[in-house]
Amino acid sequence: MNFDLSDEQQVISDLAAQIFTGQSTVDRVIEVESGDGFDRTLWNELAKAGLLGLCLPEEHGGLNMNMVELVLVLEQQGKTVASVPLWSTSVASMAVAEYGSKELQAALLSSVIEGHNTVSLALSNYGANDVMNPSVTAVDSDGGVKLTGGKPAVSFAQHASHVLVSAKRADDSILLALVDLKASGVTVTPVQASNRQPTANVEFDVVVPASHVVAGLNGNGREALRWVHEHALVGLCALQLGIAQGAITIMSDHVKTRTQFNKPLSAQQAVAVRAADQFVTTEAIRVTTLNAAWRMSEGFDARQDVLVAMYWATEGGHSIVIACQHLHGGIGADISYPVHRYFLWGIQISTELGGASQHLSRLGKLIASK
Amino acid sequence: MSMHIGDSPEEAAFREEVRAWLSQHAAPRSDDGGSWHDDLDAHSVACKKWQRVLFDNGWAGISWPKHFGGRGGSHLQESIFNEEQAKFDAHTGLFAVSLGMVGPTLMAHGTPEQQSEFLPKMLSGVHVWCQLFSEPNAGSDLANVATRAIEDGDDFIVNGQKVWTSMGQYADFGILLTRTEPDSPKHKGITYFIVDMKSPGIEVRPLVQMTGVAHFNEVFLTDVRIPKANIVGDLHGGWAVANTTLTSERGFIGGGSSSWSVDELIDFARERGLDKDPVVRGKLAECYARAQTLTYLGYRLRTTASRRTMPGPEMFVMKLAYARHWSRTMDIAMEIAGAEGMLSGDAAGDALHWQHNLLGQFAIRLGGGTNEVQQNIIGERGLGLPREPSVDRDQPWRLLAKG
């Protein structure tokens, strides 16, 4: 039993920390926000460091690592609220490496690793947002599959080259396809997202060639969607872990230095214990996220572990960012002060693939029906 | 060394060995794991019997060095043993203070004579120990102890009152914090003693709690004579020794093997046909999530312990999270219990076990430092918040406001 990072994992974490804190300063985040929302300079740095191919096969130029390492990198992104499509690109390209044809892998992965192509994830659906019940429909057609329907709130879709989309056939079987976002029949409508990240709604009325169907031609669509879903969830947990740490760092600096009644705010016990509770919850996100990622990396069944981590990332993450925002008083209401970004990201992550009730409901079903 | 969240092959083999041995020497845990609450005398007899079995078979003091009579194994092995032992009807509570708090303290601070005199009989279960720390006016502010010890020849003479002494009515020896130098600041005039509980002048009065039993006691000390040879650590230097004891206490409360599990709560819900209720399910899932989190916090703490001696804020996080988990789980258990949750004793049936743990939660929330004390420490050590300004740290204890 050993909960420590290996030396190699520590190197990855340090490298990511160095890149994100070096590049994604508060000034830079503001600059990117006022532009098109994609920090391409940072993206190129991540490519140069090899981090865009962290979990991709060596034959395409990747580092062939696994979820624990991706968690460490996404955690650093969350800490700096850096505006890059690392979560979606990593999970989608890992899915292509896991389930896609050799041709598709060759066409996509090396260009992702070099930083030329980026991929969005369209897993959310309109309505109840049950990831396992896609709102896009798929009909087999000559030489491929015809996709019809829409996906809401797709992160970075206006900047990405591709999108990994889930769809459902009339017989309820599931399919995952990699769609070229520039293809005719794909409509990308940029929308404003609460966390101010580039986001678009995407409409599909397009035939995808069989070579771009990642999974679902051989009846493995449901399993593949579950795989992508679990990896996406743990990725969100990692981002939320970084958000939580970033938020409590800013918050604790504030309550230590802000003086009222001739003493620091933190000398008020009501403030100090509320601050301390956010640390406790952050540690819960950390240990459960690392555990889920480790189990996935080792190939163990991690369904319950992922839901436990996601419970903390949603319920816990939500309460952390609210407390950190609250403890800033009026200062936090001014958007020239940086803490609000952590609040907005925290809320968005808590909503992205379902809220705490959805994860608890699934976990409850698993543990009670044993 | 690479990350491994779970048993390594060697650890899994050790667990197998432990399980095999336990299944030959103890019965599997029955449903009414809390029944001992009703009969503390029988519990104490069962604890002594079990400790002797452990000792005779080389399982007592798994992480203790061999020269102290232990097994010379690792803390991790001890945790594995405790996890497996919790699945059996093995009574251990009577020795929680001895083995979890006094042993580590004497190993770290005791004289060679104290170690050879007391440690072996602690391990074999011949002697039961209790903790004489808290007082009516020294709870969270433990360094405010007022029990006086005054030098007299080769002895000290002790007068004062202690409280919340777990299982004191069964104890042969106690660890005792006294005030030996009232003119020094409060942390600097404390001396830590070993006291024979059969000494003249000691009176133990059980305190009956809501559960109907007297786990705790008040202990009155009147002109109790303690030889100087029983001082642990330095004269007036007892605070440092006490901190070793308290760290051990937090460790075993936070990482403790409970008298209940979430799996048992799920069974309880199932027996009542509530396992299909979506709201109950959601609440069970929350309990499960918290229990899993404690497991991984515990794994991380063990990793830290195997690397360096003093853990950081993790231990305080764990103790606080555990107390909250306990309390929240019992709330849900009472909802599941339904009307029987209102009944007590035999009338409560299956609900009794959960009710006992609901009523007994305060020992967990308050023992080893209250939840609020843990929160304060987490603020300081986890977030780097400045220590609360203290008005009494450097003043002579004699001048401080009392009670």
Is B11 catalytic? The answer is no
Is A3 in Cβ contact with B276 (below 8 Å)?
no
Model ipTM over 0.95? no
How do the domains of chain B map onto residue ranges? 11-18+26-127, 130-236, 258-383
Is A312 in Cβ contact with B289 (below 8 Å)?
yes
Is A248 in Cβ contact with B289 (below 8 Å)?
no
Chain B residue closest in CA terms to A313: B289
CATH number belonging to domain B11-18+26-127: 1.10.540.10
**Better-scored residue on pLDDT, B223 or B389:** B223
Q: Which of A269, A280, A360 sits opposite B378 (nearest CB)?
A: A280
- The CATH number covering residue A86 comes to 1.10.540.10
- The CATH number covering residue A302 comes to 1.20.140.10
CATH number belonging to domain B130-236: 2.40.110.10
Residue A161 and residue A63 in one domain:
no
Give chain B as a 3 state SS string.
CCCECCCCHHHHHHHHHHHHHHHHHCCECCCCCCHHHHCHHHHHHHHHHHHHHHHHCCCCCCCCCHHHCCCCCCHHHHHHHHHHHCCECCCCHHHHHHHHHHHHHHHHHCCHHHHHHHHHHHHCCCCCEEEECCECCECCCHHHCCCEEEEECCEEEEEEEECCCCCHHHCCEEEEEEECCCCCEHHHCEEEEEEECCCCCEEEEEECCCCCCCCEEEEEEEEEEEEHHHEECCCCEHHHHHHHHHHHHHHHHHCCCCCCCHHHHHHHHHHCCCCCCHHHHHHHHHHHHHHHHHHHHHHHHHHHHHHCCCCCCHHHHHHHHHHHHHHHHHHHHHHHHHHHHHCCHHHHCCHHHHHHHHHCHHHHHHCCCCHHHHHHHHHHHHHCCCCCCCCCCCCEHHHCCCC
Residue A48 and residue A168 in one domain:
no
Predicted confidence at residue B262, as pLDDT, reads: 93
Is A363 in Cβ contact with B289 (below 8 Å)?
yes
Distance between CA atoms of B59 and B191, rounded to whole angstroms? Answer: 33
Relative orientation angle of helices A7-23 and A40-48, to the nearest 10 degrees: 150
Mean pLDDT of A104-122: 97
Is A361 within the bounds of a domain? Answer: yes
Predicted confidence at residue B369, as pLDDT, reads: 83
Residue A293 and residue A337 in one domain:
yes
- Mean pLDDT lowest among A107-116, B85-94, B144-153: B85-94
Closest Cα in chain A, distance from residue B247 (Å): 18
Q: Which of A1, A277, A361 sits opposite B4 (nearest CB)?
A: A1
Would you give the DSSP letter of residue A166? E
Predicted confidence at residue B37, as pLDDT, reads: 57
Residue A353 and residue A364 in one domain:
yes
Predicted confidence at residue A370, as pLDDT, reads: 65
Predicted confidence at residue A218, as pLDDT, reads: 87
Paired sense of beta strands A144-155 and A199-209, if any: antiparallel
Predicted confidence at residue A225, as pLDDT, reads: 98
Given A189, A218, A247, the domain boundary residue is A218
- Chain B CB contacts of A261 under 8 Å are none
The closest of B135, B137, B119, B136 to B127, measured between CA atoms, is B119
Distance between CA atoms of B103 and A274, rounded to whole angstroms? Answer: 36
Among residues B117, B249, B380, B388, which one is catalytic?
A: B249
Is B379 in Cβ contact with A272 (below 8 Å)?
yes
The domain of A231 spans 222-368
Distance between CA atoms of A154 and A287, rounded to whole angstroms? Answer: 29
Check pLDDT > 70 for residue A362.
Answer: yes
Q: How would residue B308 be classed by pLDDT, with cut points 50, 70 and 90?
A: low
Given A67, A100, A117, the domain boundary residue is A117
Mean pLDDT of A212-233: 96
Is A2 within the bounds of a domain? Answer: no
Which pLDDT tens digit goes with each residue over B61-80?
999 999 999 999 988 898 89
Which pLDDT tens digit goes with each residue over B195-207?
999 999 999 999 9
Residue burial A64-103, b: 16+ Cβ < 10 Å; e: rest: ebbbbbbbbbbbbbbbbbbbbbbbbbbbbbbbbbbbbeee
In DSSP terms, B232 is beta-bridged to: B192
Q: Is A259 helix (H, G, I), strand (E, B) or coil?
A: strand
Find which of A2, A255, A271 to mutate to test the B interface (most B CBs within 10 Å of its CB). A2
> How many CB pairs below 8 A link A and B?
154
User: H-helix or E-strand containing A322?
Assistant: helix A317-326
Mean pLDDT of B3-13: 92
Check pLDDT > 60 for residue B86.
Answer: yes
Predicted confidence at residue B254, as pLDDT, reads: 54
The closest of B115, B136, B105 to B251, measured between CA atoms, is B105
Is A101 within the bounds of a domain? Answer: yes
Q: How would residue B19 be classed by pLDDT, with cut points 50, 70 and 90?
A: very high
- Chain A CB contacts of B382 under 8 Å are 276, 279
Given A73, A98, A117, the domain boundary residue is A117
Computed over every residue of chain A, the mean pLDDT equals: 96
Closest Cα in chain B, distance from residue A188 (Å): 37
Is A365 in Cβ contact with B383 (below 8 Å)?
no
Hey, what amino acid is at B389?
P
**Better-scored residue on pLDDT, B302 or B116:** B116
Predicted confidence at residue B367, as pLDDT, reads: 82
Predicted confidence at residue B12, as pLDDT, reads: 96
Which pLDDT tens digit goes with each residue over A235-290?
999 999 999 999 999 999 999 999 998 899 999 999 999 999 999 999 999 999 99
Predicted confidence at residue B255, as pLDDT, reads: 55
* Architecture in CATH of B258-383: Up-down Bundle (1.20)
Predicted confidence at residue A117, as pLDDT, reads: 97
Instruction: Give the predicted TM-score (pTM) of the model.
Output: 0.91
**Is A312 near chain B, with CB under 8 Å?**
yes
The residues in A 196-235 lying below 8 A from B, measured between CB atoms, are none
- Chain B CB contacts of A276 under 8 Å are 375-376, 378-379, 382-383, 385
The residues in A 248-307 lying below 8 A from B, measured between CB atoms, are 248, 252, 255-256, 263-264, 266-267, 269, 272-273, 275-277, 279-280, 283-284, 287-288, 290-291, 294-295, 304-305, 307
Predicted confidence at residue A235, as pLDDT, reads: 98
Residue A227 and residue A344 in one domain:
yes
Distance between CA atoms of A50 and A345, rounded to whole angstroms? Answer: 26
Residue A160 and residue A79 in one domain:
no
Predicted confidence at residue B168, as pLDDT, reads: 95
Check pLDDT > 60 for residue B274.
Answer: yes
Predicted confidence at residue B257, as pLDDT, reads: 59
- Mean pLDDT lowest among B36-40, B106-110, B182-186: B36-40
Q: Cβ contacts of residue B16 below 8 Å, gap of 6+? A: none
Residue A339 and residue A236 in one domain:
yes
Which pLDDT tens digit goes with each residue over B22-56?
999 999 887 554 455 568 899 999 999 999 999 99
Is A287 in Cβ contact with B282 (below 8 Å)?
no
Is A1 within the bounds of a domain? Answer: no
Burial (CB count <10 Å: 0-12, 13-18, 19+), residue B144: buried
Chain A residue closest in CA terms to B270: A368
Residue A247 and residue A348 in one domain:
yes
Residue A358 and residue A245 in one domain:
yes
Q: Is A292 helix (H, G, I), strand (E, B) or coil?
A: helix
Token duo for residue B375: 């929160």
Computed over every residue of chain B, the mean pLDDT equals: 90
Distance between CA atoms of A328 and B290, rounded to whole angstroms? Answer: 29
**Better-scored residue on pLDDT, B252 or A195:** A195
- Chain B CB contacts of A252 under 8 Å are 383-385
Predicted confidence at residue A129, as pLDDT, reads: 85
Predicted confidence at residue B251, as pLDDT, reads: 64
Chain B residue closest in CA terms to A294: B5
Is B320 in Cβ contact with A284 (below 8 Å)?
no
Is A293 within the bounds of a domain? Answer: yes
Chain A residue closest in CA terms to B273: A368
Q: Is the dihedral of CA B342, B345, B350, B356 positive or negative?
A: positive
Percent over 90 (pLDDT), chain A:
93
Is B389 in Cβ contact with A263 (below 8 Å)?
yes
Total number of domains in chain A: 3
Q: How would residue B310 be classed by pLDDT, with cut points 50, 70 and 90?
A: low
Check pLDDT > 90 for residue A66.
Answer: yes
Predicted confidence at residue A58, as pLDDT, reads: 97
* A80 touches A17 (CB < 8 A): no
Token duo for residue A73: 């990198």
- Chain B CB contacts of A246 under 8 Å are none
Check pLDDT > 90 for residue B343.
Answer: no
- Chain A CB contacts of B294 under 8 Å are none
Which pLDDT tens digit goes with each residue over A77-98?
999 999 999 999 999 999 999 9
Check pLDDT > 80 for residue B306.
Answer: no
Find where tokens 């004489």 sit: B132
Residue A293 and residue A322 in one domain:
yes
Residue A21 and residue A124 in one domain:
no
Check pLDDT > 60 for residue A124.
Answer: yes
Closest Cα in chain B, distance from residue A231 (Å): 18
Residue A232 and residue A274 in one domain:
yes
- The pairs formed by A186-189 with CB atoms below 8 angstroms and a separation of 24 or more are A188/A157, A188/A158
